[in-house]
Structure 1
Amino acid sequence: MSVPHLIEFPKLGAPEIGYISVTEQQKLLPFEVARIFWTYYTPESIVRGRHAHHATEQVLVAVAGRIIVTTELADGTIQTFRLEDPFVGLYVPPNAWHTMQYSHSAVQLAFASAPYSEADYIRNYDDFKRIWQGR
């Protein structure tokens, strides 16, 4: 079973000219990307996420600002990640309940392994525990 972990993308450039980070299909991302989305202007008091997936894998990147991501596995393992470098992504497997809190200026870029499907979301915490504890 996969666990949440950080992925460091190359940071190419220098302070005097700026930087670029890049990846190509399945070089650093552990899946083929089927959907890309981004969130922004999220009030700091809002906690987003509060779900897991049946199948979708994601990599989350704070391309601006700060994002605190908390993951929980069905066995009770909880991890907190502070994303604030645009060359670091967080792999979130389908078996992880996750929440995100953003600084107001945060922009989150998300790479997902599947197109959006509401049926893939597990939005009830008790259902998440029941579904993933049995695997």
Structure 2
Amino acid sequence: MPRSRLTGEQPLVPTTEFKICPIHIAVNILGKKWTLLILRDIALLNINRFNRIRRSLPGLTPRVLTLRLRELEEAGLIHASIIRESPRVVEWMLTEKGKDTIPILMSILAFGAKWYADEIFEDHRPRTLEDLYPGRVHEGTD
């Protein structure tokens, strides 16, 4: 049998059989182009208005942003909060389900800061989440 990196022994086998792999399902929504960066903007950077998100992500077209926001809303990860009707002002907020993506985003951030430091930081020195956000992160993802 192949060795698991997690246990060093047997493959990781769940106690309940999956109808379909949870990673496959999650990647169907989170793996689409721009989706994680849109979630990053809303969840971590508090950029939650349409044009602000669009400006923060050069190359993202209004059509694709509209599509991704709609998909995230349909998936139950975000919801639109109408701030004003005329002219219409909407802010996008994370739902409880959407807040569960924050540890995923932080894990990706930690991975990038550790393994791609030469591309991310001027000094090319790897960083941990604690290095980047002293006293603010206690997720154990670094």
TM-score by length of 2: 0.22
- Answer with 1 or 2: which has the greater Rg: 2
Q: Which has the higher contact order (CA 8 A, sep 6+)?
A: 1
TM-score, normalisation: structure 1: 0.23
Identify the structure with the greater strand proportion. Answer: 1
Larger helix proportion, structure 1 or 2?
A: 2
